A and B are shown apart, each in its own frame.
Chain A
Amino acid sequence: MKFYNLKQITAFFYIATLIHYLIIIIYFSNRAPELIIYHSYSLVFTSLGLISLRVFLKKVKPIFIGIMFVGLTLVLSYGILLNHEYYVENFKNFQPYIGIKLLAFSIALLAPTPQWIGWTSLAITLVLPLSQYYSWSAIYRDQLGIQEPIMTICFFVAASAIYINRLFTVKLLKKEIISLEKIAIYERLTNIIEGLKHLNNTPLQTIEMSLQLLRAEFPQAKSLIDSIERSYTEILKINNLLGKSATPATLKSASTIKEFERDIREMGKYLQT
């Protein structure tokens, strides 16, 4: 399972916004040409943001990516406010703050971390529309219908609940993935140990038997043979300790030096990734 990091989430957010602005500009070019200027600026902002993310993807610090995420939320929200300003001034029929509500839900589902990014962005989706709403006269407010501003607040609360739940789920899944990776490393390690022990056993058997033969055939070399035997016993103790691990059934321990080299190399690669 793969989790997207903040850079990837932010890049996705920018790409989606870029597509959104392209559609909006085409859609509004005839219906409300007055709105095109701001949305064009937003399109340029989003494009530059996306290029920055692409160019500085490896160098940029997480805090700047967070600011970029919140910044885009601000740009999007402000664009929606401008739309509403235009709608109420021109007495158009519209769904009040539907864009803001969708934005709040999208942020919750994207679940950016650290949490300040998510909460600041969600706060923008509440504070901005409410500020606009209360800055308007009663005539403008009435155009939004009886459900506002409560509906916008309800959407914010629902988006916050989704965000909390998403954070919790992502955290749990990350923990599970880390545990599975730990198990995989343990399995590979025990496999290597098992292979090491197995490959040691035959040469050790040869030394064990050779020592007895040497004792029988060269009694004059007793002290030398005793020294070799002591060292052999030490190696044997270590080798027996290696035998305490159990190779998982999913892996096959090395039967040859070549296979052992392969296992060591693969373990190194695995740890690097």
Chain B
Amino acid sequence: MSLGCGAEDGHMSVKKIIFLDDNEDLRIITSRLIKNQLGIDCITCASYEEFINQSEQILDSNLVILDINLGTEATGVDAYHWLFDNDYKGKVFFLTGYDQTNNLVEDVRSEGAAIFQKPLETKKFIQLVNQAIL
């Protein structure tokens, strides 16, 4: 997979993006940016628990953007595995502060996940999101 774990999203009508990150400011800004630049609703989650509690919304979304380190034992990698286990049809990519040499990053990369390192240029970020939800 080049950018996510599925591409059968043609059946979904209203575009929806999920953003999982423990940093509140980044959640607010990212959600606002996506709405501002693409006119798409972005649902944010602060933790893995919050993420899986919104399973219906998440499985119905077109794109999930995951942070790896959530400041808790559960990481974005757990969320990634949860998506796989629940047969998620949308696309997924990681946006993490971790370096490419980090063990967790290497692990998820070996599983075929797309990983981008923070701080990602806004233009590139919007471009990625756009490509993913097309």
Contact = CB atoms under 8 A, between A and B. Distances in A.
Interface of A: 194, 197-213, 216-217, 236, 239, 243, 246-247, 249, 253, 255-256
Contact of B122 (A197, A212, A243): A212
B26 A209 contact: yes
How extensive is the interface on chain B, given as a class?
20 to 34
B130 to A, nearest CB: 14
B99 A243 contact: yes
Q: Rank and list the top 10 A-B pairs by shortest CB-CB distance, nearest first.
A: A201-B97, A204-B119, A201-B118, A205-B118, A212-B122, A205-B119, A206-B26, A209-B29, A255-B69, A208-B119
B84 to A, nearest CB: 24
Contacts of B71: 255-256
Contacts of B99: 194, 197-198, 243, 247
Nearest to A204: B119
Contacts of A216: 36-37
Contacts of A253: 102
Contact of A213 (B33, B102, B118, B123): B33
29 contacts: A198-B69, A198-B97, A199-B97, A201-B97, A201-B117, A202-B26, A202-B118, A203-B25, A205-B26, A205-B95, A205-B97, A205-B118, A206-B23, A207-B119, A208-B119, A208-B120, A208-B121, A209-B33, A209-B122, A212-B33, A212-B123, A213-B29, A213-B36, A216-B36, A216-B37, A217-B36, A243-B99, A249-B103, A255-B69
